[in-house]
Structure 1
Amino acid sequence: MKKLIYIFGYALLLMQGNLYAQELIALEGRAGISFRGLSVVDDQVVWVSGNKGTVGKSIDGGKSFEWMVVAGQETRDFRDIEAFDENTAIILAVDSPGIVLRTIDGGKHWEQVYRNDSKGIFLDAMHFHNGRQGAIVGDPLVGKMLLLATDNNGQSWKSLELIAPQVAEGEACFAASGSNIISRPNTAPMLITGGMRSRVFVGSRVIELPLVQGRNSTGANAIALRDGGRGKHWIVVGGDFSADSSRAGNIALTKNGGRSWRKVHTPPFGYRSSVAYISRKKLIAAGTSGVDISTDGGRGWKNISTTGYHVVHRAKKGKAVFLAGGNGRIAKFE
């Protein structure tokens, strides 16, 4: 009897191992393209964006993708994308110049809705808190973060220079597919920074992050707020992307809006550039050295893949979770 129990237990462990191995399902990708932009509208509609002017769209939950190269933008790097349905999406190209393009016909045509030719311009990320209102963050110009806002679904953008935060020398935002900015109604967006300093900017509050910092490759990359941002449970991930297997100072947790930070008993397994809530207690984080999940609100993590991804998002309307990364990789988390 003991032998049968042992065999059954061993078989169960093997089954669990196989289940973990199958949690990331590789999808059709685009070889040679680095994807940093990802927007999961619902369980069926997914958009991705990357370098070489590339945008992809799926309307069947990732089973197939329609690929397009934006006319006239064949050399541009689209670091972020925000989609609203299968027809409407916004993409941003980072620099020289920084531009924002918008489509309302599924990517057949793109209209330029913002352009900035300033020296040193670098657009990092954008975030919408509803279908009409959103914000864009860019690297600092003359010591202040570049902030833009829209209230008409991205048809036009205005500067928020008067409320943009002043930052330290060498402090900026990483281009992490909208995961370092949270647009909020009728107030300044929430931002996280990295580099020589790593902080959270929430209105007039400036909060120091307990993450590795002090070099251009260090600091915060992504923040996720539980309950759609209504509560005070935050999780911030980052680390050092020049040493992407290091687990030192790569996560910060708070349940009181940054007044104090919780201890983590098992941190993510390296530098992580993106994090998302799957449920109130379950999270997923991704970076160039792999993908991890947590089932206890972020205090302990289990590595489920050593394949690197730049970004992970859960559907805005639905439960689907998708990832995108270098060398055209796209995956779905089951």
Structure 2
Amino acid sequence: MNCSAYAQKNQAVMAVLTGMPATQTMADSVKKGFRGLSVVNEKVIWISGQRGLVGRSINGGKSFVWRRVSTFEKMDFRTLHAFDKKRAMIATAGTPAAILTTHDGGKTWLHITNGMNKMGPVNVVREDPKQTGLLYAGTEREVYFSADNGNNWVQIAVNENLGGDYGDGPVDQGDYDLCIAVDPSNPNKVYLGNVEFFVSTNGNNFTPVRIAGGTGAFESVSHVDYHAIVFSPSNPSVIYIGNDGGVTRSTDGGQSWNSLNHTLTTLQFYRIASSKNDRNILAGGFQDNGCALGLNGNSSWKSTATGDGQEHFFSGSNPNLFFGSAQQGALYAFQIENGNVNQTSMTFPQGEQFPWTTPFFEDATTNTTIYAASNRLFKSTNLGQDWEPTTAQGVSQNTVTDVTQSKVNPQLFYLVAGEDEIFVSTDGGLNWDNKSSANPQPSRALQRIVPDPVDANTVYLVRSGYGSPQIYKSTNQGTSWSDIQSDLPDLPANDFFVDPSNPSFYFIANDAGVYYSSNSGANWMRLGSNLPVVPVFDFDYANYQSERLLRIGTHGRGAWEVNLDAVSSVQIESFTASVSPEGTLLRWNTTKESGNKGFHVERSYDRNNFETIAFISAKGNGSYTFNDAANRNKAWYRLKAEESDGSFRYFNIVETEGVPVQFGVAQNYPNPFNPVTVIKFTIPSESAVKVSVFNPLGQKVDEILNANLAAGEHEAIWNAASFTSGVYFYSVEVSDNTGNLIFSSMKKMILVK
């Protein structure tokens, strides 16, 4: 599936809404989570990642050697700084925090924190490139200096506020914001990023860098929450800083700073929503960049609220009314008037503890009724002017992550919280049944619970984490669950969507993009050849009659859309394979072939590596056959439909068992037996087979099989419950289609009671 410009609306594309160019992806990026990158030169590259993983390439990234650091297999490495192909340092994320160093290319690592007072979150050290052995390290609220390659550390800037100040005292987010760098031309000039951006000109004391006259974090030279500081290798006067607002650059050694965000798409969507009436109007909530309204075909965005923007939706009662939220239950109604946006805040009873991303949505049938949730469900029947809880007490004991309502049965609600809690209400949220005991194990963070758009009893559970399935399906309102992970990559999942017009088409948003299935989760394929490998946090479905759009909000690469009717431009009703002496016969039937060029037939002998063995031109909806005369062995086959624009999609994999090249009869098993035994045999072509049982006198005492069978391996089962103990003989006789005997075999078996 390739992608095109935003204006091409009738192709199976994942079109970018924010002008994001296509990117190439790293081959292992869907298998490993990367957090640190250090490029020593054009040949030597180091990468650190999740679960103790460190990779090193000495051939410019063509291949990597991956190792997990001993005793840190369950830790993530926050950042990495490499000095050459043998020496590097890494810092852990979370606790226990540590700085580790290697001198042998990553084979062994040494823990170096001698002299550090405490080990909260730590950022990787940065060296003074002019003086070998001089290192700086930033930890939570503290900075350390080492003159001997990290063997010993001394704290500097003691008792200084190295976090930030919004006006009501020092704040620190060292577990989230932390970066440090040394000016390559001046070892005493050190930059530190936390909530605010700091500089030291003497290698010892730090001051915040703010706009002229600024007194707090809101006057920082760029957006608060700093994560990266990078000097240009060719000119140390050019400095880049990365933060929650994007990228800022200085070309004069830090004297002045300019935003580069007008050329970048870096906003991180938490949620995205589309106008119900105008395809050119969107709204979204962004990580630490508030809420915004997108107008005029996405050519401009208007800020509507601050904070961490969260859930959004447009009202079905008024095309100029939409709703949005910020973190922990800050809910708003927005009215569009003459191009301006007026904001109204909503209030709730004191003491309610709302989650970071508060569930907030419109009723499935009554567009003047809206809902929000703390650890219980609130309902407003007048568009948020007044709110009442549906229950007197909280439903969940943990942080609620999602509450949803079935569009098929509007009285049916679902609520999930934490890693274990699942609740179902069948009376509009008045009473809740606890279905947590059915939660699949091991537990994982529950991200979403998504009702099926056509079946009231079906619901889908979306989970985060690694090492166990991230997507489950229930057909009985959460009483039991089945895994539909299939061949999805093992990555945290964030959202799920079922196409209401093609309910066997599933879409899942995870930390590598979007995957889809055309067969109810039996197989999955990545959607969008030009969609970057990026976490996708949210789906939004927009039906404008002439086009049905699935839109996504990515966490750092903008908003994208795909035409759902184009995704399903080729639909296969069935795909089968049968083996005979003449080869493997493939049959498939299509129900839709809009824009189809033809089918590539692919074969694999290990289910992983496929080769194209034929191309069958499209002939419109109908039946297709292909005989793979070269193969009578066990194999796997799949179809790749190629569209007229060169894009393609894969369909189900079918497996064949192969055909034996000769007749064979195995010894019955078990033997001796009481009273049931199995007789296995193979035939190389379709034949008439008779399996009989004889006593020692040669008398036929039973006939257990008499049938025409296809080529392959078969079995006959004899239940001797009515026979006495003793020796028996079984015979397998095979005849051709004219009745002539072409094979026979007899073996002994013993019945012991």
What is the TM-score normalised by the length of structure 2?
Answer: 0.28
Query: What whole-Å deviation, never above 9, does each CA across 1:287-330 have from its counterpart, x for those lacking one?
Result: x9xxxxxxxxxxxxxxx974339xxxxxxxxxxxxxxx9xxxxx
Aligned partners of 2:81 and 2:125 also within 8 Å: yes
Structure 1 segment 133-172 matched on structure 2, within 5 A:
133-140=134-141, 146-154=142-150, 156-162=151-157, 165-167=160-162, 168=164, 169-172=170-173
Residue 98 to residue 48, structure 1, CA distance change in 2 (3 Å):
same
> Closer, same or farther in 2 for the Cα pair 1:188/1:46, shift >3 Å?
same
Per-residue deviation, 1:175: 6.0
Distance 1:134 1:107 in 2: 20
Distance 2:259 2:103 in 1: 45
Unaligned runs of 5+ in 2: 1-19, 165-169, 211-219, 269-286, 288-529, 536-555, 557-753
Q: Separation in 2 of the partners of 1:35 and 1:164?
A: 34
Q: Which has the higher contact order (CA 8 A, sep 6+)?
A: 1
| Alignment partner, residue 220 of structure 1 | 226
- Cα distance between partner residues in 2 of 1:186 and 1:117: 21
Residue 267 of structure 1: CA displacement?
A: 4.6
Distance (Å, rounded) in 2 between the aligned partners of 1:75 and 1:305: 30
- In structure 1, give the amino acid aligned to 2:146: T
Mapped pair 1:266 → 2:262: yes
Checking the alignment, whether the CA contact within 8 Å between 1:79 and 1:175 is kept in structure 2 is no
1:201 aligns with 2:199: yes
Could you say which structure has the higher strand fraction? 2
Bigger share in helix: 1
Q: TM-score, normalised by structure 1?
A: 0.58
| CA gap 1:95/1:262 in 2 versus in 1, 3 angstroms | closer
Task: Please state whether the residue corresponding to 1:266 is helix, strand or coil.
Answer: helix
Separation in structure 1 between the aligned mates of residue 241 and residue 157 of structure 2, nearest angstrom: 26
Whether the 8 Å contact between 1:98 and 1:116 is mirrored in structure 2 is: no
Residue by residue over 1:217-237, the C-alpha shift from the partner in whole angstroms, topping out at 9 and shown as x without a partner, is: xx3322333456642x43323
Give the Cα separation in 1 of the matches to 2:133 and 2:119: 29
Q: Deviations over 1:107-142 (max 9, x none)?
A: 2221222268967711023222325322111121xx
Higher Cα Rg, which structure: 2
**1:39–1:63: structure 2 CA closer, same or farther, 3 Å change rule?**
same
Offset of 1:79 from its aligned partner?
Answer: 1.0
Q: How far 1:36 moved relative to its partner?
A: 1.0
Q: Which residue of 2 aligns with 1:211?
A: 222
Change (3 A) 1:120 1:89: closer
Once the 2 structures are TM-superposed, how far is the Cα of residue 188 of structure 1 from its aligned partner?
5.6
Change (3 A) 1:59 1:193: same
Q: Which of 237, 255, 263 is the aligned partner of 2:242?
A: 237
Q: Is the 8 A contact 1:28 1:64 kept in 2?
A: no
Q: Distance in 2 between matches of 1:135 and 1:229?
A: 21
Residue 533 of structure 2 corresponds to residue 307 of structure 1: yes
| Aligned partner letter, 1:99 | A
Judged with a 3 Å threshold, the aligned counterparts in structure 2 of structure 1 residues 199 and 77 are, in CA distance, closer, same or farther, namely same
| Unaligned stretches of 5+ residues in structure 1 | 1-19, 141-145, 214-218, 240-248, 273-287, 289-303, 310-324, 326-334
| Structural mapping, 1:47-196, within 5 Å | 47-114=46-113, 121-130=120-129, 131-140=132-141, 146-154=142-150, 156-162=151-157, 165-167=160-162, 168=164, 169-173=170-174, 180-184=179-183, 186-187=187-188, 189-194=190-195
Moved more, 260-269 or 100-109: 260-269
Quote the Cα distance in structure 1 between the aligned partners of 2:265 and 2:29.
27
Opposite residue 112 of structure 1, the aligned amino acid is H
- Distance in 2 separating the partners of 1:129 and 1:63: 30
Q: 2:44 touches 2:57 (CA, 8 Å); kept in 1?
A: yes
Residue 267 to residue 220, structure 1, CA distance change in 2 (3 Å): farther
- Identity fraction in percent: 23
Matched length: 234
CA contact (8 A) 1:128 1:134 kept: yes
Task: Give secondary structure in 2 for the equivalent of 1:108.
Answer: coil
Q: Helix, strand or coil: the match of 1:152?
A: coil
In the TM superposition, 1:19-58 aligns within 5 A as 24-29=23-28, 31-58=30-57
* CA RMSD, Structure 1 to Structure 2 (Å): 3.5
